[in-house]
Amino acid sequence: MEEEKKQQRKKAKRKENRFSPLYVLGGGILKEDFIIKHTRMIILVVILIFFFISNRYTCMQKLREIDRLQQQLRDVRFEALSISSELTGNSRQSQIELLIEEQGIELEGAKTPPYELYK
């Protein structure tokens, strides 16, 4: 009878201390029946958590890379557009005549318009 009371007191004391920080950090929680029975499931859940965290980190890195590349593409498109418009402006006949005069080259524009030869 006394032994049963002692065992009941130990169980009650153990249940009281079950969630104390010292009990958890001391490793006593690893001796619990629930933990022992479900060890495989707990390990699987921990592995899945690590997998999901690493997957999210990889996705975030790829999204940052995509944003950086899109910004770079916008910059290159703008630069190509400005170069194209500058080239179009410089290739006008009036602009070419102005450049010829500035360079001091003695060339004249054609007085008669060009004509096409047909076969």
pLDDT of residue 116: 86
97 located within any domain: no
Q: Is residue 21 part of a domain?
A: yes
How many distinct structural domains can be found in the chain?
1
Question: So what's the pLDDT on residue 45?
Answer: 96
Q: How many Å apart are CA 22 and CA 10, to the nearest integer?
A: 17
Position 70 in a domain: yes
State the average pLDDT over residues 20-42: 80
Q: How far is CA 27 from the centre of its chain?
A: 39
Give a yes or no: residue 105 inside a domain. Answer: no
User: Does the predicted model carry a pTM greater than 0.85?
Assistant: no
- Whether the CB-CB separation of 19 and 28 falls below 8 Å is answered with no
3-state SS record for 55-86: HHHHHHHHHHHHHHHHHHHHHHHHHHHHHHHH
**Does residue 106 belong to any structural domain of this protein?**
no
Q: How confident is the model at residue 12 (pLDDT cuts 50, 70, 90)?
A: low
17-30 residues labelled b (16+ CB within 10 A) or e (exposed) = eeeeeebeeeeeee
Range of the domain at 37: 13-92
Identify whether 8 is part of a domain: no
Q: What pLDDT is recorded for position 46?
A: 96
Going by pLDDT thresholds of 50, 70 and 90, the confidence category of residue 15 is low
How far is it, in rounded angstroms, from Cα 107 to Cα 103?
A: 11
State the DSSP code for 20: S
pLDDT tier, 65 (very low <50, low <70, confident <90, very high otherwise) = very high
Specify which of 11-15, 18-22, 81-85, 104-108 reaches the highest per-range mean pLDDT: 81-85
Residue 42 lies in a domain: yes
Q: Has residue 84 been placed in a domain? A: yes
